[in-house]
């Protein structure tokens, strides 16, 4: 057995034994393909936001107030990792996503997105540092959304590496709608960067006067789900609409995704946004939109063999509707959706596939959980 397979098998054994040893809470829910079981792996996390798996099967989990912890397979929480940058934990801001460098085994680099305080307010920033024991060392901020603004909303802030090792960073509009259309401002954009935070080569606005050279696409409201498609290698995103109009997109370089000029949503007070347009020449339509809004957060493609009925599906956390959304795809077309865990009544902030082939979700609460989601055999 390879060293990696041994580590993954050990993590699964530890997780299963921990359920019995700790009396982990388990709940079952009906679904189209059989019973879905949710098992609490860890609790006591304050508004957990981002999750990634270390090579040995342990998890790194962010807490929005500014803590990063290691969660063991048996649910034990480490002390907060030292060296995490200072965050502005206000409104929707704080310590947000976490990702490992594609060559983490060689360089131990961990990437964090967060709301960074500074002149003018705060903005979405990305830092990286080497994880050594329970500390981040050699921490440096490699990307800053500019300008900083004094609002507590819409940081976006998902992180994904593509197959070439380029880093995608989503930035929300910070509640300032029109900035998403302004190429000189960092709000409402998807950025494509080298692993050191410099703009990736060949981007569409690199030579346009006044434009941020790292912009990949624009016209986004608040991307809070992003994942690499397992077959095509393209980055898929979803973003919050306002009242209605959450979207799934496959962003292409240089394309305008319309916010706030076009949207399927309306303002929270019921008024129209702008001219109330849903389409306009030169602006992209979403692959799929949800009205009413899910409050979409977190995105994962299911690629394991453990639950064949789910293979090839996407999974989206729902903050507002408090469930896990299963999305059935044919190419770049959504053909069906199914709400899972409907009666759990938990705001699901993030969803990831674990090395054991199960799904893992974070619940957004003062006493937030890491939970394992499994489809039981019929």
CATH of the domain at 152: 2.120.10.30
Total number of domains constituting the chain? 1
- CA-atom Rg of the chain in angstroms: 20
Please report where in the chains the tokens 């602006």 appear, as a residue: 283
Single pTM value for the model: 0.94
What per-residue confidence (pLDDT) applies to 8? Answer: 43
Closest C-alpha among 197, 51, 47, 64 to residue 128: 197
> For the ranges 21-25, 40-44, 222-226, 256-260, which has the lowest average pLDDT?
21-25
pLDDT digits (tens, 9 = 90+) for 320-340: 999 999 999 999 999 999 999
Q: Is 108 exposed, middle or buried (0-12, 13-18, 19+ CB in 10 A)?
A: middle
What per-residue confidence (pLDDT) applies to 27? Answer: 98
What per-residue confidence (pLDDT) applies to 24? Answer: 79
Give the pLDDT mean for 280-295.
98
Inform me whether the pLDDT recorded for 6 exceeds 80.
no
Cis geometry, peptide bond prior to residue 357 (ω within 30 degrees of 0): no
Inform me whether the pLDDT recorded for 23 exceeds 80.
no
Percent of the chain residues past pLDDT 70, beyond the cut:
94
pLDDT band at 10, cuts 50/70/90? very low
Annotated catalytic residue, options 101, 154, 288, 323: 154
pLDDT band at 15, cuts 50/70/90? very low
DSSP state of 286: P
Inform me whether the pLDDT recorded for 89 exceeds 60.
yes
Please, what's the largest Cα pairwise distance for the chain?
62
What per-residue confidence (pLDDT) applies to 5? Answer: 40
Percent of the chain residues past pLDDT 90, beyond the cut:
93
Contacts (Cβ under 8 Å, ≥6 apart) of 160? 99, 167, 168, 226, 227, 228, 235
* One-letter-per-residue 3-state SS of 219-285: CCCCEEEEEECCCCCCEEEEECCCECCEEEECCCCCCECCCCCECCCECCCCCCCCCCECCCCCCCC
103 neighbors 116 (Cβ within 8 angstroms): no
Give the pLDDT mean for 343-351.
97
Question: Which contacts qualify for 193-202: CB closer than 8 Å, 24 or more apart?
Answer: 193/142, 193/143, 193/166, 193/167, 193/168, 193/169, 194/166, 194/167, 195/101, 195/109, 195/161, 195/165, 195/166, 195/167, 196/142, 197/126, 197/128, 197/142, 197/143, 197/167, 200/166
Q: Is 154 a catalytic residue?
A: yes
Inform me whether the pLDDT recorded for 1 exceeds 60.
no
Mean pLDDT (the chain, rounded): 94
What per-residue confidence (pLDDT) applies to 17? Answer: 40
What per-residue confidence (pLDDT) applies to 14? Answer: 43
* C-alpha separations of 374 from 9, 64, 273 in Å: 17, 27, 40
Give the pLDDT mean for 92-104.
98
What per-residue confidence (pLDDT) applies to 4? Answer: 42
d(CA 307, CA 328): 14
Closest C-alpha among 92, 87, 41, 95 to residue 68: 95
Dig out the tokens for 34 from the structure: 């059989």
pLDDT band at 212, cuts 50/70/90? very high
Q: Which domain holds residue 254?
A: 3-375
């Amino acid at each position: 057995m390879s060293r990696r397979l041994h580590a993954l098998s050990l993590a699964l054994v530890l997780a299963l034994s921990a359920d019995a040893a700790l009396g982990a809470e388990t709940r079952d829910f009906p679904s189209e393909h059989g019973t879905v079981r949710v098992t609490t792996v860890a609790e006591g996390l304050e508004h957990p936001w981002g999750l990634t798996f270390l090579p040995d099967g342990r998890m790194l989990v962010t807490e929005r107030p500014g803590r990063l912890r290691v969660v063991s397979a048996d649910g034990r929480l480490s002390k907060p990792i030292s060296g995490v940058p200072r965050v502005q934990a206000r409104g929707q801001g704080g310590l947000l996503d976490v990702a490992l460098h594609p060559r983490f085994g060689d360089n131990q680099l961990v990437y964090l997105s967060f709301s960074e305080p500074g002149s003018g307010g705060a903005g979405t920033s990305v830092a990286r540092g080497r994880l050594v024991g329970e500390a981040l060392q050699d921490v440096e901020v490699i990307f800053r959304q500019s300008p900083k603004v004094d609002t507590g909303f819409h940081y976006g802030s998902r992180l994904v590496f593509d197959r070439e090792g380029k880093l995608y960073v989503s930035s929300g509009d910070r509640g300032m709608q029109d900035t998403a259309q302004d190429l000189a401002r960092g709000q409402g954009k998807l950025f494509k960067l080298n692993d050191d935070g410099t703009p990736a080569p060949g981007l569409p606005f690199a030579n346009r006067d006044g434009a941020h050279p790292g912009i990949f696409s624009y016209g986004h409201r608040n991307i809070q789900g992003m994942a690499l498609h397992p077959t095509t290698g393209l980055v898929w995103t979803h973003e919050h609409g306002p009242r209605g109009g959450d979207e799934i997109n496959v962003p292409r370089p240089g394309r305008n995704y319309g916010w706030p000029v076009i949207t399927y949503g309306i303002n929270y007070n019921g008024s129209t946004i702008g001219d109330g347009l849903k389409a306009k020449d030169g602006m992209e339509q979403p692959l799929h939109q949800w009205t009413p809004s899910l409050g979409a957060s977190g995105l994962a493609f299911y690629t394991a063999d453990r639950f064949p009925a789910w293979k090839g599906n996407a999974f989206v956390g729902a903050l507002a509707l408090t469930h896990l959304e299963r999305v059935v795809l044919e190419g770049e077309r959504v053909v069906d959706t199914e709400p899972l865990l409907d009666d759990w009544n938990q705001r699901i902030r993030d969803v990831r596939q674990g090395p054991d082939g199960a799904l893992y979700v974070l619940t957004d609460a003062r006493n937030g959980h890491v939970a394992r989601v499994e489809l039981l055999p019929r």
